[in-house]
């Protein structure tokens, strides 16, 4: 059974699948730019769904339709991207049955690659997706069975993040930032030894600007791109990343960073992060960070690694039970840690393998809280007021988690009638460490 992963960026669409040896590998197609992927056609720029359709059609011209298709979507507006991707690809197949289209957010895809190698311990990580259009940071809580996004931020300048930096370099070097010069810039960056030369010259220019600022680090169309030009434009990248990190991590907080996306290749970012005391999480040897998300997604699509896209904590609800004729306060476990999936079906409270039947009382606030079974830490949610029920009415009580991270308590009648849903808001995803929830 074949499985394919697709990651559509603003400039390139990258595809990956398992190699014969069992590891993930990019899929090469005619028209692809070596090391990058399929260029997004001009008509599809700014339209991720159209870019996905175009790339998938190109794949089908040379390969059979996959049985499973996993699309990497940004964490920002994840629900909207997931819906549009599914709509685009379930109608895009040229022959054979429609594939089973699923989606996975970028941070989960990147962490799947790291988890597959066994080098990712439980803890808090910041996945930085650094692309042409934006710098996105997702703070993730990794537990043995789940990965949850606790906070996210996005810095998207009007002229793009990586694209804006490239435009500044080219313009300040006397070049027009069109597609041809951008491709030429990417090509010289990819030349053997280009990264080492850039790092060496920038280091010398920082120590002795008068001597090394005018040293060329690249030549494009006969024009030099100097160390001084790179140093002057670099804050477009570093300041944008700093803002995204500060918003996602909160004040006085840190976490190991996983740098993914095309801009993550740019070596001068690393000294800046080192100076800020932000440790980097290494990908497997030889991994191009621009392909990290799609390679991780290929492993998930093929069933080689669990996506772990589940809520990591338990959810409890306050309840009352009559024992020996007297009411007693109790708590009922609705969902165990790692059982709630974003966009998945509701999880219902069970006892001895059977759903628990409950009755509701009018006007009485119901306590709801989440707890970390490993540490015992917990966080209360806003109390709920549920409608009353008749003496003989019984419900199964559960919880449903939406793709956007919001949850709802579900009361499903044991008899006839539709289930009712009562909003719980966004569930805490980083109990005990998220500065936005527990303070310094």
Structural domain boundaries of the chain? 1-120+284-308, 121-280, 314-428
Topology match between the domains 1-120+284-308 and 121-280: yes
Q: What is the pLDDT of residue 374?
A: 83
**Model confidence band, residue 111 (pLDDT cutoffs 50, 70, 90):** very high
CA dihedral 38, 50, 183, 6 (to 10 degrees): -40
Q: What's the number of CA atoms in the CB half-sphere (13 Å) around residue 227? A: 21
Mean pLDDT of the chain: 88
pTM of the model: 0.87
Tokens of residue 38, six digits? 């399929």
Burial class, 361, CB count within 10 angstroms (exposed 0-12 / middle 13-18 / buried 19+): exposed
By the 10 Å C-beta count (0-12 exposed, 13-18 middle, 19+ buried), 285 is classed as: exposed
**What pLDDT is stored for residue 435 in this prediction?**
31
Residue 305 has a pLDDT of 93
For residue 439, pLDDT over 50 is answered with no
Q: Write the DSSP string, 43-80.
A: GGTT-HHHHHHHHHHHHHTTSPPPSEEEEEE-STTHHH
Distances (CA, A) of 131 to 94, 135, 426: 30, 6, 28
- Does residue 404 or residue 179 have the better pLDDT? 179
Q: Residue 181's pLDDT is what?
A: 93
pLDDT, tens digit, for every residue of 11-44? Answer: 999 999 999 888 999 999 999 988 899 999 988 8
Report the pLDDT value the prediction gives residue 46, as an integer from 0 to 100: 85
The CATH number given to 121-280 is 3.30.420.40
The CATH fold of domain 1-120+284-308? Nucleotidyltransferase; domain 5 (3.30.420)
Structure tokens at 92: 């895009």
Instruction: Pick 208 or 391 by higher pLDDT.
Output: 208
């Amino acid at each position: 059974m074949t499985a394919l992963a697709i990651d559509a960026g603003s400039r390139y669409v990258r595809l990956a699948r398992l190699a014969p040896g069992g590891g993930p590998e990019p899929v090469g197609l005619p028209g692809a730019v070596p090391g990058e992927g399929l260029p997004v056609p001009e008509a599809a720029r700014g339209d991720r769904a159209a870019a996905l359709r175009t790339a998938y059609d190109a794949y089908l011209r040379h390969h059979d339709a996959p049985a499973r298709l996993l699309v990497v979507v940004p964490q920002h507006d994840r629900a909207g991207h997931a819906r549009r991707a599914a709509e685009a690809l379930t109608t895009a197949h040229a022959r054979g049955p429609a594939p089973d289209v699923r989606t996975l957010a970028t941070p989960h895809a990147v962490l799947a690659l790291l988890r597959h190698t066994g080098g990712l311990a439980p803890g808090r990580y910041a996945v930085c997706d650094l692309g042409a259009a934006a710098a996105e940071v997702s703070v993730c809580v990794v537990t043995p069975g789940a990965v949850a996004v606790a906070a996210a931020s996005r810095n998207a300048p009007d002229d793009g993040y990586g694209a804006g930096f490239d435009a500044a370099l080219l313009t300040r070097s006397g070049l027009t930032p069109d597609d041809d010069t951008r491709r030429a810039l990417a090509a010289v960056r990819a030349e053997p030894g280009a990264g080492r030369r850039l790092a060496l010259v920038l280091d010398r220019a920082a120590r002795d600007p008068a001597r090394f600022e005018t040293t060329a680090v690249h030549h494009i169309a006969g024009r030099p791109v100097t160390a001084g030009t790179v140093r002057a434009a670099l804050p477009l990248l570093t300041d944008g990343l700093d803002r995204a990190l500060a918003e996602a991590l909160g004040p006085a907080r840190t976490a190991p960073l996983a740098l993914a996306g095309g801009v993550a290749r740019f070596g001068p970012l690393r000294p800046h992060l080192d100076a800020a005391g932000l440790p980097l999480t290494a990908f497997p040897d030889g991994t191009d960070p621009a392909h990290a998300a799609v390679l991780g997604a290929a492993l998930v699509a093929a069933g080689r690694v669990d996506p772990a896209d589940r809520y990591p904590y338990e959810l409890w609800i306050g309840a009352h039970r009559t024992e020996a004729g007297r009411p007693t306060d109790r708590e009922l476990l609705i969902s165990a840690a790692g059982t709630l999936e974003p966009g998945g079906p509701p999880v219902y409270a069970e006892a001895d393998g059977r759903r628990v039947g409950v009755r509701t009382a009018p006007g009485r606030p119901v306590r709801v809280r989440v707890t970390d079974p490993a540490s015992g830490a917990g966080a209360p949610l806003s109390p709920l007021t549920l409608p009353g029920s008749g003496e003989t009415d019984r419900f199964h009580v559960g919880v449903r988690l939406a793709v956007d991270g919001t949850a709802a308590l579900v009361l499903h009648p044991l008899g006839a009638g539709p289930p009712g849903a009562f909003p719980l808001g966004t569930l805490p995803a980083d109990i005990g460490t998220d500065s936005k929830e527990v303070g310094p």
